[in-house]
Structure 1
Amino acid sequence: MSEKFIVMPFKRARGGLAPCEMRAATTAAGAEKVAAAMAPRHIGVAAYAVQVDEESGEMSSPRLLVQFGEIADLNAA
């Protein structure tokens, strides 16, 4: 397992919010900077640190680093 950093923008969808295309970042600070830059163009943007299984590519345990606007709860799935 390794820790990776992602930025997830959100858009309005029927019944709530839906994630848009995820972007990767190399550091936590970089993810926060990208999220801040994307914030004016989206209803919400969040930067997360996630645990990634290097063999399967599966992501788990998202930890919110920063959020701008409205975001969906990734842990509710």
Structure 2
Amino acid sequence: MSLAEKFIVLPFKKNRGNIVPGEMRQASSAASAEKIAAAMSARHLGVAAYSIQVDEESGDMTSPKLIIAFGETADLTVN
């Protein structure tokens, strides 16, 4: 198992009364993820940037760590 650290930004929206993640964007670094999240925050209910560990063989994502969040977000559950 070969793990690599990746950075993602998730916008959040309301769907049937629940806060759900929108389309994930990848960033090249933690600083880039913060900038993207800040720029997106004015257009979304909430935005969060995370660092995650990705198994490069299977594509499985684990160990999400919150970098920064704006507005209303939901817990990120990744198995």
| TM-score normalised to structure 1 length | 0.94
Matched with 1:7 is 9
CA distance 1:76–1:15, change in 2 (3 Å): farther
Q: Measure the CA separation in 1 of the matches of 2:76 and 2:22.
A: 13
Q: Secondary structure at the match of 2:77?
A: helix
Q: Which moved more, 1:24-33 or 1:67-76?
A: 67-76
Q: Measure the CA separation in 2 of the matches of 1:38 and 1:13.
A: 19
**Superposed displacement of residue 45, structure 1:** 0.1
Indicate yes or no: 2:71 matched with 1:69.
Answer: yes
Matched with 1:49 is 51
RMSD of Structure 2 on Structure 1 (CA): 1.4
Unmatched runs of 5 consecutive residues or more in structure 1: none
The number of residue pairs the alignment matches comes to 77
Unmatched runs of 5 consecutive residues or more in structure 2: none
Q: Which moved more, 1:57-66 or 1:10-19?
A: 10-19
Give runs of ≥4 in structure 1 deviating > 6 Å: none
Which structure has greater helix proportion? Answer: 1
Which of 15, 22, 26 in structure 1 is aligned with 2:28?
26
How many percent identity over aligned positions? 62
Q: Secondary structure at the match of 1:29?
A: helix
